[in-house]
Amino acid sequence: MSLPAHGRGRDEVLEDLTARHSGDLPTHGGRTWAYVYDSGLADLDPVMDAARSMYAAVNGLDPTVFSSIVGLENEVVGTVLDLVRAPEGAVGTFTSGGTESCMLAVKAARDARPDVARGNVVAPSTVHAAFVKGCEYFGLDIRLVEVDRQTFRADPAAMAAAMDDSTMLVVCSAVSYAHGVCDPVPEIAAIAAGRGIPCHVDGCIGGWVLSWYRQIGIPVPEWDFTVEGVTSISVDLHKYAYTSKGASTLLFRDPALRRASYFSSADWPGYVMINTTMQSTKSAGPLAAAWAAFQHIGADGYADLARRTHEATQALITRIPEIAGLRVLGTPDASLVAVTSDDPDVDVFAVADETRVRGWYLQPQFAYLDLPRNLHLTVTAASLANVDPLLADLADAVASARTLPSAAPAPELVEVARALDPDTLTREEFAGLLAFAGLDPAAVTGSGLPERMAGINHLLEALPPRLRERILAEFIGLLYTPAR
């Protein structure tokens, strides 16, 4: 058991945690270019930590018991509604993150159409997987429509062709995670409105940045509630609002659609359950931390953070193509940059390994249909000071990658892997695949993967998505296996 027979002292417990955490990628300092959002403000975390601690034990389930959370949520959501230029009467909900916001948007659209037995959601193929998850959870079909191969933006005509009388929701991205581009929201929203279909704009990662870019005079595409036909928008706060993890918003033009996102149950002998989110019991700590971040940073602070983010992004877009073998995909609209290579001697998966050896994390993204494999960079305000050192190390990483032997897996390994049936794959078959790939399943349990991932990424990319999903599910199950 990991539970000690006798309680340990505070210092001993925290020293243990510090040692465990020391091997993680850094969340501050601007060297981790995915998953974390660093404002570069040294005094922000202590303010949020204090607010989160004050409200950590407050249960957000019942605002009639903990009434202060009502004011906090109204102020936080109201601030975001103002940013996205919502009309009078628009409302919103504070959620735990972008995935919950997206899934609740799907639920709201479904429950607003009880006349349809099984509906569908139409979205570009670049839409966040949270919508696929929402459709799976809530019993809808998702129709993914291919995007333009040069711009990576949704094609309004193709989206229109995918809609029918059972379409419950149309989704656009502002911006897409994979390539950082904004879909043509006005055109798609107009088509949806003409057919009486709600249109959701996923601004989870781009909405805050695009709003502040507009505030400081940087031209951005039209995407928010000023666009006719947009009925709901999701905007994360734990990304570019730099709040603590567990903070997003789901905004609705019409309160009736928000009501469809709620869950309620009075048909049992306990308290009447009314949930505005997928969670029931939830800590109010992230809400308090978000409110504290808004108050501490202020409008002038967020404007400055947006300027620094934009400057860093533009520097990368301009200078990355100066590294022989690299190019930026599309024309990013916000602060996400995807980098690929057309040079057969430059393997971007190997470049990812080489940059990690040099202390950076760039996120590998697999090829999809005929969209090329690439490296994803999430640019933040803290990135500006790191542009020059990153580019120097990136150029060095590319040069090193050119000298490495191919990381592509042996054809027989790919053949063995592709022969697996995702619907019947057993744990034993998965262990056999690991062994064939030169990995000891026992070594993977509880520890993870080797530092260099290029070969594994190539193998996964070579597999059909359904099989890749199944293999990764087995891997996660193996990884999260307690030693007993």
Pick the residue with more confidence: 482 or 45? 45
Residue-wise pLDDT tens digits, 93-129: 999 999 999 999 999 999 999 999 999 999 999 999 9
* Residue recorded with tokens 């291919």: 146
For 95-108, the DSSP string reads: ESSHHHHHHHHHHH
pLDDT band with cut points at 50, 70 and 90 for residue 451: confident
Contacts 24+ apart (CB under 8 A), 438-444: 441/478, 444/475, 444/478, 444/479
Given a cut of 90, whether residue 255 has pLDDT beyond it is yes
pLDDT band with cut points at 50, 70 and 90 for residue 325: very high
pLDDT at 445: 63
Q: Where are the domains of the chain?
A: 50-293, 411-479
Given a cut of 70, whether residue 341 has pLDDT beyond it is yes
| pTM recorded for the entire structure | 0.96
Average pLDDT for 291-317: 98
Q: What is the DSSP letter of 385?
A: G
* Residue recorded with tokens 């019942």: 62
Contacts 24+ apart (CB under 8 A), 468-477: 469/422, 470/420, 470/422, 470/423, 470/425, 471/417, 471/420, 471/422, 471/425, 471/430, 471/433, 474/425, 474/427, 474/430, 475/430, 475/444, 477/427
Given a cut of 60, whether residue 240 has pLDDT beyond it is yes
Q: Please state, in angstroms and rounded to a whole number, the distance separating the CA atoms of residues 250 and 244.
A: 17
pLDDT at 119: 97
Q: Please state, in angstroms and rounded to a whole number, the distance separating the CA atoms of residues 283 and 458.
A: 41
Q: Which CATH number applies to 50-293? A: 3.40.640.10
Angle at 370 between CA 367 and CA 373, to 5 degrees: 25
Residue-wise pLDDT tens digits, 37-93: 999 999 999 999 999 999 999 999 999 999 999 999 999 999 999 999 999 999 999
> How high does pLDDT run on average in the chain?
95
φ, ψ (nearest 5 deg) of residue 277 = -130, 180
Q: Please state, in angstroms and rounded to a whole number, the distance separating the CA atoms of residues 105 and 233.
A: 8
Q: Please state, in angstroms and rounded to a whole number, the distance separating the CA atoms of residues 445 and 435.
A: 13
Strand order in the sheet with 327-328: 327-328, 336-340, 374-378, 363-365
Are 336 and 180 a contacting pair, CB within 8 Å?
yes
Name the token pair of 206: 């781009």
Are 44 and 293 a contacting pair, CB within 8 Å?
yes
Given a cut of 80, whether residue 442 has pLDDT beyond it is no
Residue-wise pLDDT tens digits, 168-204: 999 999 999 999 999 999 999 999 999 999 999 999 9
pLDDT at 479: 85
Q: Please state, in angstroms and rounded to a whole number, the distance separating the CA atoms of residues 441 and 353.
A: 22
Name the token pair of 235: 């905007």
* Residue recorded with tokens 């430059």: 346
* Number of C-beta neighbours around residue 400 at 10 A: 16
Q: Is 415 exposed, middle or buried (0-12, 13-18, 19+ CB in 10 A)?
A: exposed
Q: What is the DSSP letter of 171?
A: E
Q: Please state, in angstroms and rounded to a whole number, the distance separating the CA atoms of residues 457 and 170.
A: 32
For 244-272, the DSSP string reads: PSS-EEEEESSHHHHHHH-EEE-SSSSPP
Residue-wise pLDDT tens digits, 18-35: 999 998 999 999 999 999
- Cα 3 off chain centre by: 34
pLDDT band with cut points at 50, 70 and 90 for residue 447: low
The CA distances from residue 238 to 44, 142, 180, 243, in Å, are 13, 27, 18, 4
Average pLDDT for 254-269: 97
CB within 8 Å of 347: residues ≥ 6 apart: 341, 401, 404, 406, 407, 454
pLDDT band with cut points at 50, 70 and 90 for residue 448: low
